Homo-oligomer: A and B are copies of this chain.
Amino acid sequence: MPNAFIRKLNLFAPLSGPDTKLLEQICSKPLSINARQDLIQEGEAPDVVHLILDGFACRYKIVPEGTRSIMAYLLPGDMCDWHAFILREMDHSVATLSPCRVVEIPRAAVLEITDKYPAITRALWWIALVDEAVLREWIVNVSRRSATEAVTHLFCELLARLEAVGLRVENGFEFPVTQSELADTVGMSAVHANRVIQELRARKLIVLNPHGLQILDIEALKQLAGFRPNYLHLSIKGGREA
């Protein structure tokens, strides 16, 4: 069974034998990181690219008044700082949400990929563009959906994204995120996040506990959120050439 990174890249572009071999070698020595550790902080210029093989992480910023905003979830197969390789300085921080297995890809390996492995390079850019599309949808989520819709939409998105890398279990997934963190991702208070959860439970739509989320009625949930998965660009195999 290939790791999540290879599975994800294969979603977008079929990888050759040598491609896969290189990626396996790159991922061969993962680090184990505890939950709630910063992988990179705003202002740093990392000289490695971090890749999540296992666990949840997030991108976040702290605004001056002290509140936190989580702008993205990093799931197994996601890269943390591909952009910092080009933009140099991180404009936000990345932290683990659960215990993670993380690979640090050295600069030389990244240069080798972009030089000699065009299929992988194309898939990486594809992924960067999908990340951008997800950010746009999150703007819609926090700006134009009610609290209940926003939380629901997030759950629908995570189910789709985790399914794509083989991490959907039954009708749910592992979800090691506290309600406070959930609140910071949909831009509300922790108390209100809790009220939304309670409501979704009462409506028999979900079962949520510290370890995982079970979705009891997927269609109802999608309907409630107005979820349309087109922005994830998961259905198209093999891209045009860049």
Residues of B contacting A239 with CB < 8 Å?
86-88
Decide yes or no whether A31 CB sits under 8 A from chain B.
no
A131 contacts across to B, CB distance below 8 A: 132
By a CB distance below 8 angstroms, the chain B residues around A242 are 85-86, 114
Interface size class of A (residues with CB under 8 A): 35 or more
Minimum-distance CB pairs A-B, first 9:
A143-B187, A135-B135, A91-B231, A64-B226, A142-B143, A83-B129, A71-B136, A69-B140, A69-B144
Please provide the chain A residues from 220 to 242 with a CB less than 8 Å away from any CB of chain B in the complex. Answer: 226, 230-231, 233, 236, 239-242
Q: CA separation between A178 and B140, bound complex, in Å?
A: 19
A1 interface residue per 8 A CB criterion:
no
A111: interface (CB < 8 Å): yes
Chain A contacts to B: CB under 8 angstroms: 42-43, 59, 61, 63-65, 67-69, 71-72, 83, 85-89, 91-92, 111, 114, 125-126, 128-133, 135-140, 142-145, 186-187, 226, 230-231, 233, 236, 239-242
Number of copies: 2
Residues of chain B with a CB closer than 8 A to A59's CB: 136
* Chain B residue with Cβ nearest A82: B129
